[in-house]
Each structure stands twice: as structure tokens, then as C-alpha cells.
Structure 1
Amino acid sequence: MQARVVVFPVKGLAWCFALPRASAAAPAADGALPRPTLRDLWRGISSGSRTAPEKAEAVVDFVADKMNRAWVGFGSAPEGSMKSRIHSFGLKLLSRVRPSEVLLKSVTKDVSALEIVHPASINSRLVRRRLRHIAVRGASVHKKFLYGSVCLLPVTSVFMVLPLPNIPFFWVLFRAYSHWRALQGSERLELLVSDCSDKWKVLEEKINSVKDGKPSENARNSPWKLRPSEKLDRFLEGRNLDEGLDCDTILSICQEYDLDKIDVLKYRDLL
């Protein structure tokens, strides 16, 4: 699976790194599948063909699916109900999540190639260096917050005795899952944009196609492709980046590359 990352400056030294919404939503496309049951989970983890990490990932995915379905149910609750209020409060909390975390969570283990679109006026090596910095820093940050969230789970579980929904526990549980996903994405992104060809061997089963018993021409290529775009340059031409891109320009770029405007605005308003 190939993913595309669109990179462009939004304000001063702040850059936006965003995946098109179609690519970001691809991992969630399994929402139409039948709801997994505990019996299905047990069959999956009890089979001897899976390794311990794969079994742990299956359990995490099962819990995440349950949480996602419950969240959707809260969103469809009647206006003014307790579930609706919890959903509104949760949206406010989610709006504070950093956009880099959204990017890293979108880089799943299925991504074996990366197309990086950036303004032609910006040095390609600088673009890849900053993308690699996001991956390295993200791995460090999300590993720390993952451990912190896991440590908080026993503390927040004491609120289970209350007759109200244990919002702190489920929020910490969700954040632990999000940090775990972002950590996995950081490691994957670092692998994709790495300079070391030895690391690419991990991806060779997906990025190399074998025909007639011989590796194809793609076997000698890196998993990342830099695509300088003059169209992006035209969007940025004459704009005052010191004050930040205006909303109309951001909207035009988002429509052209199918980006989430809210995430792009987060990059601009971080400073």
C-alpha cells in the first residue's frame, strides 16, 4: 500500500504534514465488516499460527473496535442526553490532539511506500529530513506518553464504583491506544524515510514484485518518492508566511489535495 504525504509551510517555520483523507480513512474502512465477538477473538489468539505480538495486537484491535462502536453510539444519541453531552465533551478533548499524532496514526503497518508531495521551491532533502525528525521525535514522545497512560489506568479504574460512566478511565484507555498507534506509525515512518538500505529489506516483500523468478526494477528503488509540485508553489506565491496562510488559501490547498482543513489549521495555529 502506498500513502501520500502533502508537505507545505503554513506559518513561519511551521510546516504542515498531512495525508489525504482517503488515505487516512483507509485503515478504518473495515467498519462495515461484521462485529467481532469474543469467540472470534478467542479463536484468533488460541491458534498456534500467531506469534505473541500478533495475539496482543488482535486483543488491542478488538478493544479498539468496541470503543469505536460505543463512541459512534454516543454520537447518535438524542440531543441533550448524557451520552450526547459526553460525546460533545470528548470532541473538545480530541480537538486538542496534536496534528502530528493524527499523521503518525495514519501510517499503518500496511504502508510499504510513501509519496511525498512538496513545493518545488523547497529543497527535497530538507523535506525528508523534517519528516524523519517527526518520526524520530514521535517515537520518543509517544512511547513516554504510552507508558504514562498505562500507569494511570489502575488509578482511574477506582472510579468504577461510582454510578456514573467512568469517563476518566475510558479517556486514558483511549489515549493509551492512540499513543500506541502513533508509536507504531512513528517506527513505520522512520523505516520508510530512512537512508539505510538494509532497513528496506523489512519492506521488500511488499515493495518488490517478483516476476519470472527475478526481482523487478522496483527492487533497487527506495520506498519513498519525493514529488516537487509547482502547483503548490502557485498556491503559496505572494503569501505572507510570517503571518500564516489565510483560510482561503488553506481551503484551496485542502480541496486540491483532499486534506482535512481542521488538521491543517492546527499546524498553523500551533505557534
Structure 2
Amino acid sequence: MASLAELYVRLDPYEASEDEYQRLGEHVHEMAIGAALQNYGGGVTVEVTIIAGSAKIKVRVMQAILALDLIYGHMADWKGFKEQVISTYESSVSFLKTMAETVPDIAKANPRQVKRVEKRYKASGKLKELVERVEQLRVAKVPLETARPLLREIQRLAAEAEKDLTGEERAKLLEGMSEAVPELDDEHLVSGAVMKVALPPVAPRLPLPEGTQVAEKPAKGRRRKSKVVFHKSTDLPRTKRIPR
């Protein structure tokens, strides 16, 4: 199951009891469910995790990418798949915007406590960028030699998108892309699993001369202990989107 979108909020300082964290988590989780139903129309999994210390709140929306028409063996309708990917990305934009505005308010955090708010588009953003590049190549209809820079960019994006997919989803995606653009052969659509970056050889460490003293590293200051104080996920059935 791929992560479509993730919101990360860090509040510091933030002190709360176990019960208060539970109430906060339940409230955030309820709001995330409502926002997911409104924007995605269900068919997704909502997950909320809170880590105490400096409060770190993560809200994720997940979905099996096979739900985006990859389950039918091959993408007979590339246009339909492309439109679904773009629609899912737009839903992620709206979902993250809503939750980014809501979470600090639910936590009753003042602006100074809100140290970081990150909207992470994950698979929805990667797939959107990928289908846009494939569509660009389809429309351009340029000779293969001219298209090579774009093919390399598609190769990079495919490798990035694959990180969020299962093996079956990855195979369906690459198959569909190859059908949409025949130029995307195995030479260009290399699985991210086999794309390795050659690392320079590491020189072996030589023994130190006898009597050499190694300086001790200065002790680091104590960090506040971080622990998960709330975690909950809910599978939402597919429904019609709630009107805004």
C-alpha cells in the first residue's frame, strides 16, 4: 500500500499528559477521516501517529495504487489512468491544506510552538509528475535521439515512484507506460531495484602508531526521550465524495 500524502507537524515546546495526547490523537484522526472522505471519497486508509518529546504529529493517507485501474492487467485507457492520477494529486493537495490548517488549532498550539509543517505528496505527487512527462513525450512525437533527455527523466521518475509501490503494482505501472509510449522499452524503464550507484572504494584504515592517543568525542547533551503516544489507522470504504 502506497502513501499518497503525509502531513508532518512538529510542536515545540509541547507538554501533555498521556490522556491529553490520546484525546488529541482521536480528534486529529476524526478530522483526517472527514477530510479524506471529502477529498478522496473513501477507498483509502487514514493513519495518525503522535510522538511525544517535542510533539511530532504525522497524518498519512494510503491507498493500493492498483486501485488506480492497474488491477485490470494492462492500462487499456491511458487517458483515464492519467486523469485519475491527476485527480488523486489534487485531492492530496486539498487534504494536506485542510489538515495543515486544522492540526495546530486542534492542539491549541500558538504560532511560536509550530516549528515545522511539511506537506509531503509522496506517491500522488510522483505519479502525477511521471504521467505528465509520459504525456509530454506522447504529444511531442519527436525522434528517439531527440527524446533521450526526456526518456532519462521518465526513467528517474519511474524509479522514484516505484519506491512507493508493491512488486505487482510496479510491474503493472511499467507495463502500462510501455503500452502508452512504445519508446519506453526495457532499456529506459529500468526497475529502481536494479539501479545502483557505484560507490567509490573505501580505503582500509591503517593501524595507529604505538602510543597514539585517540581524542574522545565530546558527550552530547541529553535529548528528550521520544515515544509513540498515539497510533491509529482506519480503512475507509469507497463512497461518493462529500460535497464541500
TM-score of the pair, normalised by structure 1: 0.33
Larger RCO (CA within 8 A; separation ≥ 6): 2
Q: Name whichever structure is richer in strand by fraction.
A: 2
Q: Name whichever structure is richer in helix by fraction.
A: 1
TM-score of the pair, normalised by structure 2: 0.35
Q: Which has the larger radius of gyration?
A: 2
